[in-house]
Structures are given as C-alpha cells and as structure tokens.
Structure 1
Amino acid sequence: MGFKDIAWFNQALLCKQAWRIWSNPQSLLARVMKSRYFRQGDFLDCPIGSRPSYAWRSIVHGHELLSQGILKRIGNGRDTHVWYNNWLLMPTPRPPRYRTYEVDLSLTVCDLIDSRHGTWDAPRIRHLFVEEDATKILGMKLNLQCEDTKTIKSPMTAPTIPPVEKKLWSNLWKVKTLPKVRHLMWRALAGALAVSERLASRGINVDATCKNCGVAWLTRNHAGTALAHSRRSYSHVSSSLEAEFLGFYWAAESLSTLKYEKVVFESTSEANTCADAIALSVTKDHRYASYIAKDCPGWLLRMVREDEVGMVTVY
C-alpha cells in the first residue's frame, strides 16, 4: 500500500479524523465529543479527560500529530505565546529558537512589535532569537487590525526519515533469505514484535524488565590461553545496556580481587564467543549459580582451543 511504518500510517488516519472534528465543529461527531470532553474549551487544547473511551483516546493520538501542523497566523500578536505556539512558517511549524539564557516565558508576539510605528522591534528580535529565525520573523508581514488565527500546514505529514534509515528500509526486502525471515526483520525494525517493552509502550500493563539475564567474562594472556572465567546471573534488568554495564562492573571488581593488572576489556560478540556462550548458559540452560574459576569451562574447551589458534566456531 506504499507505507513503511504501520504506527505512522495509523496515526495519520487518526489525524485526519481529528482534523475533521476541528475543521467542522457543527458536525454530529464534533458536537458529541465537545459535550463529553471539551465542553468549555478548545479542541486543540483539550486534555484526554477522565474515563475516556477508546475512540476518544485514538482521536487524541491523532490530535498529537495534528498539533504539529498547527500554525498561528500573526495578526496583532496578543494571543500567540512566543515560546509555546508554532508561529514560524517552516517545513514543520515551530516556535523560534532563543539566543540568550534569559527567557521570559510569558512573552507574547505583540511584545515584539513597535506599537508606535506598527513594525517589528528589530533590535529586540535580533537579541532574543538566533539569526536565521530573527531574519524569518522580520520578513513576516503584520496586520495589527486582525486577531491571530490558527491554520494547518501539512497536517498529514509523517516524521521525516533520515537518509540512512531510508536506505535501510529500501534494502530490507531485497535481502536474500526466506520470506518469513524478511517479515520478522521488518517487524523488529518497525517495533511490531510483541515483546514486553513494546507492549508496555502501547499502554499494556506488563513488566518490561528482564526476568533473568546472564553476564560472563573470560581472561586470556598474550598467547590466547584462558586464565580465568566467571559467570553471574541478574534479575529485573531494564535493558541490555544496563546488563552490559553490570557485566563490566562485575568483571572489573573480580579482576581487581584477583590482582590482575594491565587488563584490556573487549565487549564485541565477535571477539567473545566463549564469554557469550557462558552468559547464554544462564538463560538457555538455567545455570543461575554465579562463580569465578581458573582456566575455562570444560564444556567449552574445544571452542577455547580453536580461539587460541584463530579459528572461531559459531554456536
């Protein structure tokens, strides 16, 4: 169908529904939603509310994308906050970027206008904003007889994909492998795998921490001979990065206890097939006992010997 990311495609469709409510406030749907969720306020500024329905939650999700395309057209500038509202006409409407660290959060656009001459206060604008934004503001026409209005610029535009990611998506389906493997790769890159972390990000009440994970280290001398190794299990680790930090800490603490000096740490999988196999034994073989021992494990003797002569066997 031409879309690369289901989540963005779904949000774009919901954004269209939100735009219909905002642009046609007299429609039946808009009047029903207004009476229930934003009776006294504006649709663009309303919160999700208490006890919202699934339909309203979905519309609010589209509303978030719609808000990115809302542009304030400057009239007299009294209703537009300088730092909060999107009033610079860029590819994506946004507030201006500040130059100084002294920022007045209550500043409105009318404070940037010289009321005596009906023009922009150029010295103040160049003092407050970066050069690119200041030039853009000074080029905007003023109409002090009108109030500020809201309009939409590209409400259905999905987030821009970086060039590297575009190339990755275009080459994904050209990988020479089984169709089911390509589909699995696409689901993993699109964040569509039903793992705990993704379920938690979509509002499902699950424990996203790792129940059990294992770390291991193995030391060698200059000739590649294994001197010592260790394994340790952890529980309730929130990410693989945290597990790696715990592994580094455990290795440094153990080697300090063993009085090892001039140690070079290497964490890549290609150079640590033996340590990877020891760590995987925690979750794969349920070996949760932590220990430190000399030499190498007997069940990995063949792999260690092959590493010593430069031959790596993938397990």
Structure 2
Amino acid sequence: MGFKTLRDFNLAMLAKQVWRFHTKPHSLISRCFKAKYFPQSDILQAPLGCNPSYAWRSIHNSIWVILKGSCWKIGNGESAKVWGDNWVPLHNGFKILTQKMEPFSIRHVKDLINMDSFSWDTEILNNLFLPIDKDHIEQIPIINTTNIDEYMWMHEPTGVYTVKSGYKAIKEWQDQQFSSTASSSCDTQVWKKLWAIHTIPRHKVLLWRILQNSLPVRSELSNRGVPCSILCPR
C-alpha cells in the first residue's frame, strides 16, 4: 500500500476521523462526540477535556494535521478568522504576515469584503496589510457570498482529505523538521568559528546579536510586542 511507518499511518487515519467530524457534523458519531467533548466549539478548536477516553485522546492528538494542511475556501467570510486562521492559499503556511494591531475591529474575513460590490475592500486592505499580503488576498476570488466558508485539504486536488495524502503530508513535514535539525548542527560550527575570530570582544558580541536577531530593528521590536511598523523608514 506504500505506507512505511505504522505510527504515521495511524495518525493519518485518525486525522480522517477529524475531517469527518468537521465536514459531517450532523452524523450520529459526530453528534455523540460533540455532545460529550466539545459542545460549545468545533472539532478543530476542541479541548482535550477532563478524563478523556482513549479514542477521543487519540483523535484529539491528530487535529493538528488537519489544521496544518488545510485552508479556508472563502464564501461569505463569516467562519474564517483574519488573524491566525489559514485562509490565504500558497502564502506563508496559508497565513498572513501582517501582525495584528490592538485594539482593532477586524476579526473575520467578512470584515474585509465589500458586500455591495462583491469584492475586497481596497481601502481596508491598503491601510491594514503589508503589500505582499494585500496582493495575495486580492488574488482570492469572491464568487458567491451566499455560500459558507469551507475547509479545503491543500494536499489533494479535490480539496478533500484522504489517508494517503495525509500520510504523505506528515512525512513531508517530518523531512522538513529533520532538515532544520541538521541545519542546527551546522549552526554549532558557526558559533565555534565566530568565537574563534581574532578581534575585539564587542565585535564578536555584535556579530552574535546579528545572528541571533537581537538587534533593536523594527521587525524584531514588533515581534516582541512593541507597537511599531515593521517597514523600513527609508
């Protein structure tokens, strides 16, 4: 069948159950689990809860697969959240790069849509988002605002989750993580070479701060909660 790792195969099968709970909420098994474990939320935001059964604990451990590999297909924009949700295809893991500035009234994607002209509100996009985010958002077609938002599995042409595509996605993510781990071992060599440089100590510290992204540039200040623009003033 092409499955080499039993653990990843089981995870892909459990994620299939999560997909069914999300896309078929009115089925009997979906209603039973919802009534007991997540009566006030969707399966994708469901907490583990107290004293969970083995079945629910196993299903809950696979929710991240659907969250990581799926993206909202925008209809009326009422379900997809602007900040944090996956709703921008082929861009930064389906998320926007622009950071949320508090306080702000924009919460759902519907707040960015001009319902009169059935198009994106250009004024809001220009004022709120980085140019790269604005360009990607404007490429999302608004076909029918009477339809609800739907979740699409981005690793399958049909947009429907399958165990085979889920297994392949899990393996790809693991390979990416392995590559990043390998690069971290290379970083160790970089630090050794840095501290071996024959120069005055403050130059070494400056190089270390640059490599650690600890210089007080605007992008780093914004990442640490300082309310400032991340764009270069020049």
Fold conserved (TM > 0.5)?
yes
Residue 151 in 1 paired to residue 151 in 2? yes
Paired residue type of 1:86? N
CA distance in 1, matches of 2:82, 2:40: 25
Q: Which moved more, 1:104-113 or 1:134-143?
A: 104-113
Contact kept in structure 2, 1:72 and 1:148, CA below 8 Å: no
The one-character-per-residue Cα deviations of 1:5-47 (angstroms, maximum 9, x if unpaired) are 6654432222122223333334443233123212343222221
Contact kept in structure 2, 1:76 and 1:143, CA below 8 Å: no
CA distance in 1, matches of 2:96, 2:65: 20
Give 5+ residue unaligned stretches, structure 1: 169-240, 242-315
The alignment partner of 1:162 has SS state of: helix
Corresponding residue for residue 197 of structure 1: none
Cα 1:149–1:78 change in 2 (3 A) is closer
The alignment partner of 1:14 has SS state of: helix
Residue 56 in 1 paired to residue 56 in 2? yes
CA distance in 1, matches of 2:14, 2:81: 27
Corresponding residue for residue 25 of structure 1: 25
The one-character-per-residue Cα deviations of 1:51-101 (angstroms, maximum 9, x if unpaired) are 111110100011221122332222232333211221112278622110x67
Corresponding residue for residue 176 of structure 2: 162
The one-character-per-residue Cα deviations of 1:241-296 (angstroms, maximum 9, x if unpaired) are 9xxxxxxxxxxxxxxxxxxxxxxxxxxxxxxxxxxxxxxxxxxxxxxxxxxxxxxx
Name whichever structure is richer in strand by fraction. 1
Percent of residue pairs bearing the same amino acid type: 31
Contact kept in structure 2, 1:68 and 1:92, CA below 8 Å: no
Corresponding residue for residue 35 of structure 2: 35
Q: TM-score, normalised by structure 1?
A: 0.44
Q: TM-score, normalised by structure 2?
A: 0.57
CA distance in 2, matches of 1:69, 1:106: 28
The alignment partner of 1:72 has SS state of: strand
Q: How does 1:9-158 map to 2 (within 5 A)?
A: 9-90=9-90, 94-98=94-98, 102=101, 106-107=105-106, 108-143=108-143, 145-153=145-153, 154=155, 155=161, 156=166, 157-158=169-170
Q: How does 1:285-304 map to 2 (within 5 A)?
A: none
Root mean square deviation, CA, Å? 3.4
Cα 1:30–1:114 change in 2 (3 A) is closer
CA distance in 2, matches of 1:15, 1:101: 30
Q: Which has the higher contact order (CA 8 A, sep 6+)?
A: 2
CA distance in 1, matches of 2:58, 2:135: 39
CA distance in 2, matches of 1:14, 1:91: 27
CA distance in 1, matches of 2:81, 2:23: 22
Q: How does 1:156-195 map to 2 (within 5 A)?
A: 156=166, 157-158=169-170, 159-160=172-173, 161-162=175-176, 165=179
Name whichever structure is richer in helix by fraction. 2
Contact kept in structure 2, 1:81 and 1:106, CA below 8 Å: no
CA distance in 1, matches of 2:178, 2:68: 24
CA distance in 2, matches of 1:87, 1:138: 12
Q: How does 1:270-281 map to 2 (within 5 A)?
A: none
Cα 1:34–1:131 change in 2 (3 A) is same
The one-character-per-residue Cα deviations of 1:175-220 (angstroms, maximum 9, x if unpaired) are xxxxxxxxxxxxxxxxxxxxxxxxxxxxxxxxxxxxxxxxxxxxxx
The alignment partner of 1:44 has SS state of: helix
CA distance in 2, matches of 1:21, 1:133: 31
Give the paired residue count: 167
Cα 1:27–1:115 change in 2 (3 A) is closer
Q: Which moved more, 1:54-63 or 1:118-127?
A: 118-127
The alignment partner of 2:94 has SS state of: coil
Cα 1:52–1:121 change in 2 (3 A) is same
Give 5+ residue unaligned stretches, structure 2: 156-160, 183-187, 189-234
Structure ID, larger Rg? 1
